Structure 1
Amino acid sequence: MHSADQAVFRDIVLVGGGHSHVVVLRRFAMRPLPGVRLTVICSDTHTPYSGMLPGYIAGHYSHDEVHIDLRRLAEFAGARYFREQVIGLDRVQRKVLCARRPPVAYDRLSINIGSMPAVNQVEGAAEHAIPVKPIRRFNEHWLALLERVRQHRGAKTIAIVGAGAGGVELSLAMHHRLRNELRRLGRDPGELRFHLFSAEPEILPTHNARVRRAFEQVLAERAVVVHRDAKVSAVASGQLRTAGGETLAVDEIVWVTQAGGADWLRDTGLALDDRGFIQVRDSLQTVSDAHIFAAGDCASMIDRALEKAGVFAVRQGRPLADNLRRSVLGQPLRAYHPQARWLALISTGDRYAIASRGGLHTAGAWVWRWKDWIDRRFMARFNDLPAQRMAIARPQGEESAVPLDEAESAQAISALAMRCGGCGAKVGATVLSRALASVHPVERDDVLIGLHAPDDAAVVRVPPGRAMVHTVDFFRALIDDPWLFGRIAANHALGDIFAMGGEAQSATAIATVPPGLESQVEETLLQMMAGAVEVLNEAGCALVGGHSGEGRELALGFAINGLIDEGLAGVMCKGGMRPGDQLILGKPIGTGTLLAAHARLQAKGRWIDDVLASMEQSNRLAASCLREHGATACTDLTGFGLLGHLVEMTRASGVDAEIDLAALPVLEGAAETSAAGILSSLQPANLRLRRALRGTESARSHPNYALLFDPQTAGGLLASVPAERAAACIAALRSLGYGKAACIGRVLPPADDLAPIHLK
C-alpha cells in the first residue's frame, strides 16, 4: 500500500491493460505527476503481448515470457490496480461502472481494451467458433484443444477463419505445434488437416505481392488448404458454410476476423465508427468527451484509418501518457503522428520469419532471431523491473502543478497543512454522510439504534438465552484497492467470531483515510466501506456505527459483537483438543511472505490474485461445517502464524501435536518467496516460537518449514476433528469452496518433552 506522501487532487483511470497503457504506466513510473493518482482497471492480471502470441502457440515461448505482469507493473508505477470487469460509463458523474464493485470515479479516463472478433455477426459463430480475442479466453480454449488433439485418434480438421497477418501466422503456429505434438506421441501428423478461409481474393491483403507469394508457398508446402473469396456466412456444430455455398466438415474453428468494439461501448454515448470503435482526434482524445481518451485497437482516428496492428498501440503509448498529463495540467494537447509504413515480422510457425515493410520483403531464420530479439527487448521494459518501486527517483515535497478551483484550493490547503489531533482529525461530516449514503447495512431486529437512526452510540439487544462474544481487529491497508481491502478487513475481524462458533451480530468500524480533496476522500471511504459492508451483510452482521479519521495510510478495523448460546453449547474454543484428533486447516498459508514479495516487486501478479481471493473468502461456512463434523477445538490463523496458533491450542488443551510439513496447503509462490528470504516484518517475532518444535533437524530443509512462522491475514480456520470424521469433514469443506482444505497432522498425548509440536 502506497502511503500518502502527496495529497491526491486528480484521478486518471486506465481501463484495460493493452499495449498503450503499459507504456503509460512505465512513463508515469519514471516521471510521476504530484497530486495525480493512477488507477488501472482490468480483468486480466497478466496482459498478453500480441507480437509473441504465435510464438507461444508454436511452443517457442512460455506463458510468462509472452505476458506482462500488469499488477506488478502497476505497483512499480505507484498506480492502484483493480482486477475488475468494466461494464459501462456514467459520463455525467464521471464514473466507470463495474461488474462487482461500486463505480470508480475519474477526472481523466483512458480506454485501451483492444478489439473483439464480431462472432455475433455470423450465424452460429458465437456458439461454435473459438475467437482469438480476448487472448486469455483463447488461451484457455487453445490448451483444451491441444489436449483434445493429444487424446483423439483419427483425422481432425481445423479451420482458421481470417487470412490477414494474424490468421496466417496463427495457422502456421498451430500447424507447427500440433503436428510436432503428434510426432512426439508417435502418431501420424497427417491426422491433422488445416483450412484457411479468406473473405478476400488474396491472403495478407495489406502486404505486398512478394510477401503474399512467400506465404502462399509456405502454406502449400505444409498442406494448409487456402479458400479464397470464401467469406464464412454460417457456422454449426462440426460444419461451416461460405457465402458462395461451399460447406466443410470441421472439428475445430478458430475465428481471427471481423474485429469490432466491445459491446459495452455502445451505451456510453461516445461517438463510435461503423465497427463500434471509439472515434478519437489526433490527440487520442475522444471526439465526444474531452475527459476521455482511447488508444490501440479500440480507437478509430477520424483523420486517418489505421490497421489494427500492435505497432500502433505501442507507438501511441508515449503521446497518450503525455496528453493525459497535459490534460490534467490544463495544457494544450499534442498530436500523435502515425508512421506511414511500418515493419511487420511475421513468423511461419517454425523459427523462421518473413519481413514486410511497404514494398520490401526478406526472409530467413535470421529474421526470426531479429524478431525474437525485438520482442524480448520490448517485454524486458515492463517485466524486468527494479527490486523495489522506491528505487525509482521520485519528486519529494514537490508541490502539485494541477490547477484547482477556489473551493479545491481551500481544501488542498487544509489537506496539506499540519493536521490537528483529536476530533480535529475526523473526516468531515458532509463527506462522511455522502460516502455512507450508498452503503446499506443489513437490518436486524435486535439492533434498536444503529445507522438507520444515527445517535451518539448504537443500542443492541441481547436475545434471551444468548451471551455476547466480543473481538476487535485493526490494520493498515495491505493493497491499493480500497474496496477489496474493505472486504479483507471485515473477513479478518469476523474470523474470531466464526472460529468460536458464534453468530456475528453487529460491527463498529474504525477507519483512517489519507487526506485530500473532499471528492477523493469520499471516493476512498465509499469504496472501502462498500466492500466491508458487503461482507458484513453476507454474515448477517449489522454495521451500527464507527469513527473515521485522517492519517497518512489507509487503515480499517472493526469491533465485532457476536452471539453464542448462554450455556456455551456449540462454542468452539482453543482448548478441547483430544489425542487422536486430526488437525484440519481450511485455507492455504503464505499470505505474509507473498505480500512482502509484492511490495518488493518479487511476486507474480497471479500469485497475489490467489492471495487476495483466499483472504476475501469468508470462514463462516467453514465454521459451520467443522461444528457439524464434531470439531473439538478451533481458532483462526492470523498474525501469529500456523505455529503460534497451534501452540496456543496445545497449551489450552494440555496435549501435543504433530504437523506433516508435506501436507500443508500452501499458496502458489509462497515456498519460492520464503526460500528467497522475502519474509513479513512480523516473522522474526514469530520465529521465537521455534523452541516449541521438536524433530527440526531434517525439517529445516523442507520448503514449507519457514511458512510455519508466516503471519496470516484473514487466514483459514485450524481445527481438531475426531479422526473417524476427518475425511468426511475435508470433503465437505472442499464442496463448500475451500478447495485446499487439508489434514495437516494429528493431536498427540502430552510428552515429557517441553516442546509440544513434533514435525514430520
Structure 2
Amino acid sequence: MEAPTPVTQDLVLIGGGHSHAIALRMWGMNPIPGARLTLITDVMHTPYSGMLPGYVAGLYEFDECHIDLRPLARFAGVRLIGDRAVGLDLAQNRVLCAHHPAIAFDWLSIDIGSTPAVSTVPGAAEYAIPVKPISQFLTQWEAIVQQVSEQPQRPLRLGIVGGGAGGVELALNIRARLRQVLQQAGHLDTPLEIHLVHRGREILPERSPGMRRKMQHILAQRGIQLHLGETVAAVEPDGLRCESGRWIECDRPFWVTQASAASWLKESGLATDDRGFIQVNDCLQSISHPYVFAAGDVATMVRHPRPKAGVFAVRQGKPLVENLRRALLGQPPKPFVPQKEFLILVGLGDCTAVASRGPLHVGPTPWFWQWKDRIDRRFMEKFSNLPEMRSQRVERRTFAPSRRASNSLPCAGCGSKIGSQPLDRALQRVQAEYPALQRDDILIGLDTPDDAAAVEVPAGWVLLQTVDYFRALVDDPFVFGQIAANHALSDLFAMGASPQSALAIATLPYATPAKQEEMLVHLLAGATKVLHAAGAVLMGGHTVEGAELALGFACNGLAESSQLLPKGGLRPGDVLILTKPLGTGTLFAAEMQRRAKGRWIEGAITTMLQSNQTAAKIFQGHGAHACTDVTGFGLLGHLVEMLRASEPVGVQLDLSALPLLPGAAETLQQGFRSSLHPQNLAAACWVRDWEQRSPSRSSEIPADILFDPQTAGGLLGCVPAETAPDCLSALHQAGYLESRAVAQVIPSEGDVAPQGWSQRSVRLV
C-alpha cells in the first residue's frame, strides 16, 4: 500500500475573478500533493467582462457569458466556500468571513475585483446602480428590462455616470436592448432617453483622440445625450444634480465611475495605494506580506501600473498560478511584466464593433464583432469543456517538516483516532463561538472528562434515539456539518419529538494535526449551529482519520408517548403533504461528474439547510395522523413504509404535483442516478400497473424521481382532508414554499402486493 499524502499546506483563494478562474483550471490539470486549495466566493457564477455588454444587449444567454465556479472547483479538487470575506487576521493567517468561522491559510491569493466609488457622492449609495459587483448590477438590469417589457408605453429616462470605456459601451448596449424590447412590444415610438455624464472634457480618456471622436459621433448618432465636463454632486430619486447647477432628469442612474477597493483590505494591514488596492510586486506578491498574492482589479502593480481592465486580469492568470505553485514548492517566484498597449473591441449592441489599439481605430463593422465573439467564446470554452480527467503528471515533493509521520501508513484501530490536542483545541474554539446550551436533563456532557454522557428522561416521557452517518456531499465542512445535523434530527422531528442531545462521529481526511483542527472546528461549528437552534446539546463523540470527510450523529429526543407521530396512521380520505422539493440524489450524482449547473447545486444546498422542526410542529397542530422524513429510500420507499405500517389502504399519488428542485428533471432525463437509486427501484412493485407505464407520460415530472434518495429531505405528513388547506398555508407562511399536497389516502382496492406483505397499492395519476 502507498501511504496517503496528508494535507500539509493550505492555499486559500478569495474571489472567483478571471485570474482565479484560470488558476483553478490550471491547478486541476496539475495539482501538488499535500497542498489543499480553498476558494471563498459569494458569487458562484463569474461574469466574463468581455461578454457582459453583449449580455446586456441580449446577444448572449446567462450561461454563455458566466463561468460556473462549482464544476470548475470540483474539476480542480478545490474546497468551495460560499461566503463573503470581510477581513483578514494576518497575525494568525486567517480569513474572516461573514457567515463562516475564520478560515486558516498558509498562502493567500485575492481576486475580488473592484467597486465604483459611490460613497463620496450624496445619494449615490441609495439611488444609483453600481455596475460592480456585476451580479448585483445584472439583477437590477433585468428588473428594468422586465419593467419595460410589461409597460412598454411608459417613457424611460436612464443616466450613466462615467465616460470611460465601460460607461460608453454600457450606454450603447443598454440602448440596443431596450429598443429591441420596445420593438417586440410594438412601442418603438415610446420616448427613451439615455444620458451619459462625464466629468472630463472628452470621453474615453485612456484611448486615442481619434477613437474618442469616433465614439462620440456614434453616441450622438444613436441619440445618447452627452454631458461632458459635468461632475455629479448629488443623486436624487428622480435625477442627477451636477456641481455646475445642471439638473439631469432620469429614473435610474448607472454608476460606472473610477473604481475603489473593499475597505477591509487596507484595514487588515496590507500595503495599499491611495484608492485601497493591494500593492504588489512584479511577482504579484503583496509588498508588505509576501505570502499574500493579488491579481485583477484589486491589485496594483507598483512598478507597472495599468488600467482596471479585464484584459490584464486574464493575462495575470498564468503567472499567478506559476508563482503560487512555486510558493508551495519552496521555489523563488518569477517576475511578470504586463503589456503596455492592448487591443479593445467595443461592441455597439447591434452585432458590430469598433477596434482600437494605441493610436489606431477601425470600425464599426460586423467583422470586428464576429472576431470579438470568437475570442470571447474561445475563452469561455476553456471553462465549459473541461478535460474528463486530471493529468496524472503531478509534482512530487515530501513535506517532511510538517508531516506527523513521514511516509508511514495510517494506523487502524485506536491508532486512527484524532490526537487529543487538536481535538481539545477544536472543541474549545467551537464552544467559544457557540457556548454550550444549559439543559437540566444533561447530567454528564462535554464539560466533564467522563467516558460516557449521561442524560435524564422526565417521568411520563419517552426517549427516542436515531443515528445517521454519511460521507460529505459538499466540500465546505461548515455547510456539511449543518446538513448532516439537519438530516439526523429529521428522524426525531418526523416522530413528533423534541431534540435533547447528540453524539457525533466524524472521519477527517489525513492531514497534519493543525489542519485537522481547522477542519474539525468548521465541521462541529456547523453542526452545533443547527443543534443549538433545535434545542439540542452536543454531548461528545468520536473522531477518526480516513480517506474522506464523513460525519454522523446519534441523536436523542424526548416526547410524550401520546404525542408520538408514527408512520402507520394513514386513513382513507387523508391528504399527504410533502414539505420540500425532491432531487438531491440525481443533482449530486450529476455534480460528481461536473454536469450539474452550479445554481442547481446551490438551490439543493439551500433546501438541505432548512430544518424540518417547524414543519413537524405545523403537522401536529393540524391533526396529523402519520409522518415520516423523506431521505435515502426516496419518496416511494418511505411512502411504502407508511403503507406497510398502516391498516390496508391505498394511495393515489399525483406525480404532476411533486415539487422538484431546479435542474432535477434535466439531470434525471440525462440519466444521472444516485448509486442507491437501483435498490430503491424495488419499491416500484407497489405501484399499480408500473410495468405497463409508458416512460413518455408526464414528461415534466419524470417518474424516476420517486426513487431518488434525498439528503436532509422534507417531511411527508398525513393530515385530515379538512385541515390540509390550512396546513399548507401555514407551511408556506413558515418558509416551506415548495410544500405540496401530493397524494390522497384511498380505501384498499384489494391489489396483491409483494408476497408476505398485506394488500396495499399506490396508484399514480
TM-score range, shorter chain: over 0.9
Matching of residue 557 in structure 1 with residue 548 in structure 2:
no
SS in 2 for 1:61: coil
Equivalent of 2:750, from 744, 749, 752?
752
Matching of residue 705 in structure 1 with residue 703 in structure 2:
yes
Q: How far apart in 2 are the matches of 1:754 and 1:425?
A: 51
Q: How far apart in 1 are the matches of 2:614 and 2:35?
A: 42
Indicate conservation of the 8 Å contact 2:3/2:409, yes or no: no
Indicate conservation of the 8 Å contact 1:449/1:458, yes or no: yes
Q: How far apart in 1 are the matches of 2:201 and 2:261?
A: 26
Equivalent of 2:397, from 395, 400, 415?
400
Matching of residue 452 in structure 1 with residue 443 in structure 2:
no
Summarize the Cα distance change of 1:4–1:673 in structure 2 as closer, same or farther, 3 Å threshold. farther
**Which residue in 1 is equivalent to 2:411?**
420
**Which residue in 1 is equivalent to 2:367?**
366
Equivalent of 1:617, from 610, 614, 617?
610
SS in 1 for 2:492: helix
Indicate conservation of the 8 Å contact 2:281/2:301, yes or no: yes
**Which residue in 1 is equivalent to 2:422?**
431
**Which residue in 2 is equivalent to 1:672?**
666
Q: Gapped runs of 5+ residues in structure 2?
A: 754-760
Q: How far apart in 1 are the matches of 2:184 and 2:138?
A: 22
Q: How far apart in 1 are the matches of 2:529 and 2:397?
A: 36
Scaled by the length of structure 1, the TM-score of the pair is 0.96
SS in 2 for 1:439: helix
SS in 2 for 1:56: helix
Q: How far apart in 1 are the matches of 2:324 and 2:206?
A: 32
**Which residue in 1 is equivalent to 2:328?**
328
Q: Which deviates further from its counterpart, 698-707 or 539-548?
A: 698-707
SS in 2 for 1:724: coil
Q: How far apart in 1 are the matches of 2:323 and 2:391?
A: 22
Instruction: Give 2:372's aligned amino acid.
Output: K
Q: How far apart in 2 are the matches of 1:506 and 1:4?
A: 37
* Structure 1 segment 341-352 matched on structure 2, within 5 A: 341-352=341-352
Q: How far apart in 2 are the matches of 1:259 and 1:757?
A: 61
Q: How far apart in 2 are the matches of 1:347 and 1:45?
A: 26
The CA deviation string for residues 657-692 of structure 1, in whole angstroms up to 9 with x for no partner, is 111111000001111111111100000101111111
Scaled by the length of structure 2, the TM-score of the pair is 0.96
Q: How far apart in 1 are the matches of 2:609 and 2:580?
A: 11
Indicate conservation of the 8 Å contact 1:699/1:759, yes or no: no
Indicate conservation of the 8 Å contact 2:329/2:397, yes or no: no
Equivalent of 1:635, from 628, 636, 640?
628
* Structure 1 segment 288-303 matched on structure 2, within 5 A: 288-303=288-303
Q: How far apart in 1 are the matches of 2:303 and 2:410?
A: 51
The CA deviation string for residues 549-596 of structure 1, in whole angstroms up to 9 with x for no partner, is 11111111111111011xx22211101111111110000010000001
**Which residue in 1 is equivalent to 2:756?**
none
Indicate conservation of the 8 Å contact 2:164/2:203, yes or no: yes
Equivalent of 2:472, from 468, 473, 477?
477
Q: How far apart in 2 are the matches of 1:585 and 1:310?
A: 47
The CA deviation string for residues 689-709 of structure 1, in whole angstroms up to 9 with x for no partner, is 111111434463334201100
**Which residue in 1 is equivalent to 2:757?**
none
Matching of residue 685 in structure 1 with residue 686 in structure 2:
no
User: How far is the alpha carbon of 1:190 from its aligned partner?
Assistant: 4.5
**Which residue in 1 is equivalent to 2:213?**
213
SS in 2 for 1:723: coil
Matching of residue 272 in structure 1 with residue 272 in structure 2:
yes
Q: Number of residues paired by the alignment?
A: 746
Q: How far apart in 1 are the matches of 2:694 and 2:569?
A: 28
**Which residue in 1 is equivalent to 2:504?**
509
Matching of residue 93 in structure 1 with residue 92 in structure 2:
yes
SS in 2 for 1:601: coil
SS in 2 for 1:521: helix
SS in 1 for 2:577: strand
SS in 1 for 2:397: coil
Equivalent of 2:459, from 457, 464, 470?
464
Q: Which deviates further from its counterpart, 709-718 or 513-522?
A: 513-522
Q: How far apart in 2 are the matches of 1:65 and 1:76?
A: 19
Q: How far apart in 1 are the matches of 2:405 and 2:704?
A: 46
Q: How far apart in 2 are the matches of 1:4 and 1:168?
A: 58
SS in 2 for 1:366: helix
Q: How far apart in 2 are the matches of 1:384 and 1:458?
A: 52
* Structure 1 segment 35-54 matched on structure 2, within 5 A: 35-54=34-53
**Which residue in 2 is equivalent to 1:720?**
718
Q: How far apart in 1 are the matches of 2:130 and 2:391?
A: 43
User: How far is the alpha carbon of 1:189 from its aligned partner?
Assistant: 4.2
Q: How far apart in 2 are the matches of 1:417 and 1:60?
A: 57
Indicate conservation of the 8 Å contact 2:182/2:190, yes or no: no
**Which residue in 1 is equivalent to 2:197?**
197
**Which residue in 1 is equivalent to 2:161?**
161
User: How far is the alpha carbon of 1:209 from its aligned partner?
Assistant: 2.0
Q: How far apart in 1 are the matches of 2:439 and 2:303?
A: 60
Q: How far apart in 2 are the matches of 1:283 and 1:190?
A: 54
User: How far is the alpha carbon of 1:349 from its aligned partner?
Assistant: 1.4
The CA deviation string for residues 639-661 of structure 1, in whole angstroms up to 9 with x for no partner, is 10000000010111122111111
Q: Gapped runs of 5+ residues in structure 1?
A: none
User: How far is the alpha carbon of 1:293 from its aligned partner?
Assistant: 0.6
User: How far is the alpha carbon of 1:721 from its aligned partner?
Assistant: 1.0
Q: RMSD of aligned C-alpha atoms?
A: 1.4
Q: How far apart in 1 are the matches of 2:410 and 2:260?
A: 51
SS in 2 for 1:226: strand
User: How far is the alpha carbon of 1:442 from its aligned partner?
Assistant: 2.1
Indicate conservation of the 8 Å contact 1:4/1:553, yes or no: no
User: How far is the alpha carbon of 1:7 from its aligned partner?
Assistant: 1.3
Q: Which deviates further from its counterpart, 206-215 or 734-743?
A: 206-215
Instruction: Give 2:278's aligned amino acid.
Output: I
Instruction: Give 1:280's aligned amino acid.
Output: V
